[in-house]
A and B are shown apart, each in its own frame.
Chain A
Amino acid sequence: MKRNEYDVAVIGAGAAGLAAAAVTAKAGASTVVIDRDVRPGGVLNQCIHNGFGLHYFKEELTGPEYAARMIRKATEAGAIFRIGSSVMEISPAQADGRRALTLYSKESGVEIILAKAVILAMGCRERTRGNLATPGSRCAGIYTAGLAQRMLNVEGKLPGTSAVIVGSGDIGLIMARRLTWSGIPVKAAVEIQPKPAGLARNIAQCLEDFGIPLYLSTAVTKISGKDRVESVTIAPLDDPTAERVIECDTILYSVGLIPENELSRKAGVVLDPKTNGPVVEEGVYETTEKGIFACGNVLHVHGLADQASEEAERCAESALRSIGMR
């Protein structure tokens, strides 16, 4: 097994991880950024729509463009990338305070990376139909919005021929426009809350632009279909008898995100039941495990990628202080 030693190991090469790595590497800390995907950028690479970077770069960029700028920043600062590599485990602190990360990749098998500070930047997962326990058939054609986004924007696969969006998170709204622009009519977006979850601009440019109805205070009461989705039944909360059946073969769930903390939990990091992210000291970003920091969507869900990047920079400064490099 190879042994690699760094000052800082960043787990996740998305909006947060890249920004953190750029800061620590620029300060002279030897920095490795680890990501399981085949290219750095995280979810930004599948977010081909514009709207990124207005705060951070003072320019409106698409997700891949935002990612490319952050990758350049981290690369120019001297960060080392380990892509196609998954972190399986973070060890307890050794006598010298360092942590051992167990890394797995197709190319090199199992490796150990030693780091003085670890920055968690793994982002989120999407909540699914299972989280909502929507009644009805368990047929094909039910996706999370982000999965459908990856299919369409990265793999170029059409997820179906007509769709209903459940929930009104930004990814779902963006996908309503993306599906429409791909020739897949979107029949409706259905939100159980009285107010939409996503940004007002996305309601305007992704639903209203195409005349897609948004049903608020409305629940999905049933999914029907034998092998494939055939229809979805919805009903307003204040009158459950006023059911409406919408025919479609595809359902996208856009019902929130959950910070992805399996790795953190295994490392003994205590999680906040409210945010599902690590408990951290305000402004310090250090978790309950010494030398392990957290930023971006793995800490709590951010509205904008720019905010995740900005938080990551503050977190990186804090990590640098902890190893005496600030």
Chain B
Amino acid sequence: MIDSLPPGWVLIVGALIIPLLKGKLQSAWMLLLPILGFAQLLTLEHGNHGQLELFGYQLTLLRVDRLSLIFGYIFHLAAFLSVLYALHVRDVRQHVSGMMYAGSAIGAVFAGDFLTLFIYWEITAISSVYLIWASETERSYRAGMRYLVIQVGSGVLLLSGVILHFQATGSLAFENLIGPSGDLGSAGPGVVLIFIAFGIKCAFPLLHNWLQDSYPEATVTGTVFLSAFTTKLAVYALARAFAGTEILIWIGVTMTLFPVLFAVIENDLRRVLAYSLNNQLGFMVVGIGVGTEMALNGTVAHAFCHILYKALLFMSMGAVLHRVGTIKATELGGLYKSMPWTAAFCMVGAASISAFPLFSGFISKSLILSAVAEEHLVIIWIGLLIASAGVMEHSGIKIPFFAFFAHDSGKRCKEAPWNMLLAMGIAATLCVLIGTFPSALYSLLPYTVDYQPYTSSHVVTQLQLLLFAALAFAVLMKTRIYPPEVASTNIDSDWVYRKALPSLTGSVARVGGGAWNALMATLGRGLAAIRQGLNKLYGPQGIFARNWTTGSITLRVALMLGGYLLFYFVF
């Protein structure tokens, strides 16, 4: 039986107690849960625990190694910061939902078999959708529905893949499925289904749009929760099962590039961050595809840093939305005057994601880029460098510039609430600490790190890339070539199921309905003609009406005798 409570259950069970508590006690309890869960992680010993046999299936509820532990640490940290940021929220259902969501993501990371993973996989989907619905708008209701269908659908694909994989191999173990060849094409259908299920949650190109669709519709605090767990759980799952799968390199580099273009023209700043999140996942996916120890270290380090600075950026934009009531770039600007602390924290997040030296992105992204360079993947390396300039564009400059500077919108508001500021402050401090003293994070990575990010050449080249990108922005603004923000919707792949398919089914219904009506009308006319003919013979004015009753009886008897004859003949 289970010799130790799987991590995540502290949060899941603890979440059920939240509604029973009130006021300060409730707040204290919510802040305590991630700390308790974190403390539990420190007591765990490496290895497989909680192994049990269920209906002949070998399950491993708890697998502890360096890869699962570091994701466990950062998920608890993210849960703590998200709870702190949401502390002022009165809607207790959001607290329960967020806590269960974090708990199930943590549980999934420690799952040692695919069946256990599947169960947590679905709980993350179901528990998190309320964070979107809690916005209580028509848009958020619809976006939440789409989110739920796609997330649960990814779980169904996962389960189908696991069943096929089990039939083929007899194993449920959640381990590398791809082997040293790294070729997905030669893998079994079950493995391919599992790959697609992970790909949906990881927002692969064309499977990505649920992310940009739903995250910006969630509540101010809900988006911070959402930004941390779902996609990084998928990154973990890919790193666990598909490390070294070559196609991931190409998928990853595509993911770093195309969202950048959408981010340039997007007006909703939280949606800009969702595109940016997609782009950051691309760097991690490339690292998984390369699959060397250095690349995987890079992916894990980048996931760790990314959760912190992405949460920080979503927190700062959430604070703006909370205070101003809008997050559209067209309606913002000059807010540094009202929200100086939020602006400063946002700029720390922007510097971290852009990978400025002394900030966290610098020490994690460079691991991935160096691993790519060491494998001499020239095209990929150039792609990632272009994407790095793109990160500078949308997250480094656009987010802080259009919200806090640019032209003064004349809007004045209060600074963010204390709990939001504290959460942002802690996240910002961690971004700087990790960036300045990387060895602490490096010591937690799955493999030994033999890498020095702070060489003079690396610092100079990175500063060149970023400052010249900033210069390009300045010139584009001065010459008015930079596209002005426009209140608009930009269509993306979700257009297929939000517009094209509904209108297609609409046309099918119209055409099909028309054809059905025409068919019915023809049939009706035919029947009417027959009825008219019968009426002519047997109706009141018909020939047989001269001896009406006898005539009709004759007909009926003739029909009955005919029927009897037929019946007798057949049997």
Asked if A pairs with B, the answer is no
Residue ranges of B at the interface with A (Cβ–Cβ < 8 Å) = none
Residue ranges of A at the interface with B (Cβ–Cβ < 8 Å) = none
